[in-house]
Chain A
């Protein structure tokens, strides 16, 4: 049996080109590492220092540059500097699924939509439509309180004062000039004044709009 042992106390007796190369590489790597570390630390420091500096800068400085007497404008400027893109509201899929579930449960809504109405007579469709209508009325009335946006009668003349809520009143047709606008109320609009959607338990699978039914 032969024992191979490494004696760590050994020192090179010769110092040839290979050793020079080896030493140079080691020194180079060490240098790179040090440089990288230093730059990282410096970078982090700079970030920490600059962030509070940069962010309030437009908030503080710009409104001050603008004139104080117009408060409205100052407010607008405050909101403006947010550089991010407009955040669109994500609708939670659960609420949508829940509404589908309610309409299916009360009104057989999905059943109705999924059926090919072309092959049935109007009388048959009418009978089914009663189920759907009755159920939808119940589902909607139970969970939403609806009110017309405009209290005026459809077809009557209405006046929209300056500063009207453009989300609640949609202008169509000959939109020129400045408010107040005079026009005919074509549709009175609907708004939900109260909503009472059911709450869901943690484990509820909202994607199952209607469970398959098996009779034993």
Chain B
């Protein structure tokens, strides 16, 4: 068995689909052939099919629901979790046993991701699993499928890159790496999805990419997937005559994607049906309608000459004719709901509308309240207008009210629809023209569904020093909250200061010098710190103390917790420590408490989510 990795493998661990791409490391750089692995998976009880996408769903069947032996996979007689297409199929009829969007939960504040909480709506006697366990299950399935097909090259011995949304916070990144470790992928490194898309574009151009971008370009990557929208800005600079790419900013975690669009269409059609016929639709009919809407939408987008597309909701019984519900989706409705609803023409100064959340927070995902992706984009570009200020060669006009991208790269299945992609480009160019800036051009030629995984596989090559590497480091600066030394005012919470422990743009494998501030920690007792991140404050260095900041530049993340182990200390003893940060080679942020006395250090945990609140 060879210990030297033979393949570089990219895993796109998506919200709705997982993709695994691989490339033989022994091939020449000019003759790279990135393959997408067809993942064997159950599609129904007893039926196994290969598909390039593994649906990121888990179904928790009742013990007697499926006959023995019908859940066998080529590598295991009885699968531990039902994942993939079968989960989605069974779950569409029994949603109380379906776990979906596990990935979005990983980045959800206020939830302990290792607690069995999914499916949220399940009755008590349905066994639940944690978002972490679900993510692990997808990785495990991919690993087993790979090992089954390539027994001489087990996945654990290959170069593995797992992609995460650029907007994932440090805790969610840590959880992803931990999930990989659970299935034996200790060597896995992380890559941001928009970067993966750009790598794929670079790889796809076969060396020609240098002719498509020039120094001073700012590439906006818009990734609209099934469940999330991810934004990144990547600048093109020059160093010693070579083009360099630097990721300068990433957007917020926006839970808005293709699934919302299908659902929006289904509700529109449902309203139409109920208004016309006075019929109440049942839950299963809505499900079928959503499915029908998706097909009709794809047909309308692919065939611009069609004006309407019929949608038929078949009866559930064996009688097909007569029991069907017939309606249609018109191009007007499609434009009104999707193009105008999700990508409206808005001014660049507009911000996403956010209603105050109702008092009782239900245990659900914090879906984006404003469906207008263009508004989220406007807010992102306005907020990041300083993003390229420190880069040589990238100049932004003096009075620009937002950052001017000069090129646009799309990713994600939603943008396969020509009209949506055109609209997005149109809106962006309207903004640019209103400030007399040159219009942005579209970078062509990426496979929108599989690009991220392919780019991640290519990244394995890049890490070996071949090709161009996107620099960037951390996309945020990180702070801990410390109580300021002000006299307490009754009735007011003590004022808090933010102490910077990790600056913006820390590269992988780098560590920051210790700040001067020290904390006295009690040995053996857990101590919690409030933890903040800022995606816009690029100038703060380690040790910077902020006593005030604007709401939109600082985001409170999950609390972090430190427990000094007692070894070598007496419980109750107070040890003076520094808090320091390092970015690991893997791509996760590691916080440490370093003792001033003897340089011992302790890891600070992210993943202890504030569950008691």
A residues with CB within 8 A of B: 98, 105, 108, 111-112, 114-115, 117, 120, 124-125, 127-128, 130-132, 134, 196, 198-205, 213
| Residues of chain A contacted by B50 (CB below 8 angstroms) | 196
Contact flag A196-B44 (CB < 8 Å), given A111-B319, A127-B324 = no
A-B contact pairs, 12 of them (CB 8 A): A98-B47, A111-B320, A112-B320, A114-B318, A115-B320, A128-B324, A130-B312, A131-B320, A196-B49, A202-B72, A204-B47, A205-B67
Contact yes or no, A105 B314, CB < 8 A: no
A98 to B316 alpha-carbon distance, docked (Å): 21
Give Cα distance in the complex from A198 to B73, angstroms.
12
Q: Please judge, given known A-B contacts A127-B326, A128-B314, A131-B314, whether A112 and B321 are in contact too, CB under 8 Å.
A: yes
**Residue of B whose beta carbon sits closest to that of A216:** B94
- Contacts A112-B320, A198-B43 known; A131 to B312 CB distance under 8 Å? yes
Contact of A124 among B49, B69, B321 (CB under 8 A): B321
Q: How many residues of B contact A (CB 8 A)?
A: 28
Provide the bound-state CA to CA distance between A120 and B48, in Å: 38
Q: Take A201-B70, A204-B70 as given contacts and tell me if A125 and B321 are in contact as well, using a CB distance cutoff of 8 Å.
A: yes
* Residue B445 lies at the interface, judged by CB distance under 8 Å to chain A: no
Report B's interface with A, CB cutoff 8 A.
40, 43-50, 67-72, 74, 295, 310, 312, 314, 316, 318-322, 324, 326
CB nearest neighbor in A for B43? A198
The answer to whether A120 and B321 touch (CB under 8 A), given A134-B295, A203-B67, A213-B316, is yes
A96 to B196, CA, bound (A): 43
Chain B: minimal CB distance from A145 (Å): 14
Docked complex Cα distance between A105 and B90 (Å): 13
Q: Which residues of A contact B69 (CB under 8 A)?
A: 201-204
Query: In the docked arrangement, what's the CA distance between A132 and B71, Å?
Result: 28
- Cα of A213 to Cα of B90 in the assembled complex, Å: 12
Report the bound CA distance from A127 to B310 in whole Å.
Answer: 9
Query: How far does the alpha carbon of A200 sit from the alpha carbon of B46 in the complex, in Å?
Result: 6
Q: A131-B312, A131-B314, A134-B295 are in contact. Are A205 and B320 (CB under 8 A)?
A: no
Q: Are B49 and A198 in contact (CB under 8 A)?
A: yes
Is there contact, CB below 8 Å, between A108 and B314? yes
- Determine if A204 and B46 form an interchain contact, defined as CB atoms under 8 angstroms apart: yes
B40, B44, B67, B320: the one contacting A108 at CB < 8 Å is B320
Report chain A residues within 8 Å CB of B46: 200-201, 203-205
Q: CA–CA, A120 to B319, complex, Å?
A: 12
CB contact between A127 and one of B48, B74, B312 (< 8 Å): that residue: B312
A111 to B322, CA, bound (A): 12
Q: Please determine whether A200 and B320 come into contact, CB atoms closer than 8 angstroms.
A: no
Minimum distance in angstroms from A92 CB to a CB of chain B:
16
Known contacts A134-B295, A199-B48; decide if A128 and B320 are in contact (CB<8 Å): yes
Q: Give the residues in chain B near A134, CB-CB below 8 Å.
A: 295
Q: What is the CB-to-nearest-CB distance from A205 to chain B, in angstroms, rounded to a whole number? A: 7
The answer to whether B324 touches A131 (Cβ under 8 A) is: yes
- Give the docked Cα–Cα distance between A173 and B68 (Å): 56
Most buried by A among B68, B69, B72, B312: B312
CB-nearest residue of chain A to B44: A105
Chain A residues in 8 Å Cβ range of B324: 124, 127-128, 131
A105 contacts across to B, CB distance below 8 A: 44
B169 to chain A, nearest CB (A): 38
Q: Which A-chain residue is minimally distant from B316 (CB atoms)?
A: A213
Chain B residue at minimum C-beta to C-beta distance from A117: B321
Residue of B nearest to A204 (CB): B46
Chain A residues whose C-beta falls within 8 Å of the C-beta of B320 in the assembled complex: 108, 111-112, 115, 128, 131-132
- Output the least CB separation between A201 and chain B (Å): 4
The distance from the CB of A198 to the nearest CB of chain B, in whole angstroms, is 4
In the assembled complex, how far is the CB of residue B448 from the closest CB belonging to chain A, in whole angstroms? 20
Closest 4 A/B residue pairs (Cβ): A203-B69, A204-B46, A201-B72, A128-B321
